[in-house]
Amino acid sequence: MNIGIVGAGNIGATLARKLAAADHEVKLANSKGPESIRDLAAEVGATATTKEDAVTGVDIVILSIPFSAHRDLANLFANVPEDVVVVDTSNYYPFRDGAITDVDGGKPEAVWVSEQINRPIIKAWNAVLSATLAEKGVDKSQPGRIALPVAGDDLEKKSIVMQLVEATGFAALDAGGLATSWRQQPGTPAYCTELTADELQTALEKADQNRSADNREALIKVFMEKGDSLTHNDIIALNRAGTA
């Protein structure tokens, strides 16, 4: 498939590398222009381009940008065919994104993103740490694979994205529609906790929307206080304990 990725940070670049390795044609864009990521794109097997070109002539667009930056993409999809799959990997963090009243009031992040870009999305690869995505994917023949939730209202498009999640080395779990995609947002038991498919299903069911924002803020405070002293395993353990 032809895939355009907008956002060349840790998640976007890792997805570009993995999807290119799985024989997909990948175009990679960022906010600064193709020259700024020419070397990175070559390294991961993608083609550096503009964000406008990244959404042109592709089957799938993956948005891997800061949550609030979706406001700047309102016109990006104006001429993109409706059958193009649009995936969002972002998460809302008020300390970085600024307070967003609708989301603070309970609107699922994925629904808010869909409204900003005027296009339904599939929510995927948001509930995984960048190091997990880069280092812990394994072939589907391996037992106990880490599972990732995928939410969306279009079953056909969601199925396509689930296949891509599998191609990046993780078990894809159907997490339902966008209205309940809050179950895989920060502060929930499904978020960045490295669970198997059965464990992830249970975590999604146990999510408490009334607690998730408080959990998120409490965890961010701990992460900021401890800083570089935290190992990857520490972060996973804290996420599990802080959302249990």
pLDDT at 1: 96
Domains and CATH numbers, the chain: 66-243 (3.40.50.720)
28, 16 in Cβ contact below 8 A? yes
Instruction: Say what the pTM is.
Output: 0.96
Residue 192 has a pLDDT of 98
Separation of alpha carbons 125 and 94, rounded Å? 20
Judge contact between 89 and 126, C-beta under 8 A: yes
The pair of structure tokens assigned to 88 is 């969002």
Residues of the chain with pLDDT under 50: none
Q: What is the pLDDT of residue 74?
A: 86
Strand 85-88 with 122-123, pairing: parallel
Give the model confidence (pLDDT) of 68-100 as tens digits.
999 999 899 999 999 999 999 999 999 999 999
Q: What pLDDT is attached to residue 158?
A: 98
DSSP string spanning 157-174?
HHHHHHHHHHHTTSEEEE
Tell me the two tokens of residue 39: 């070397």
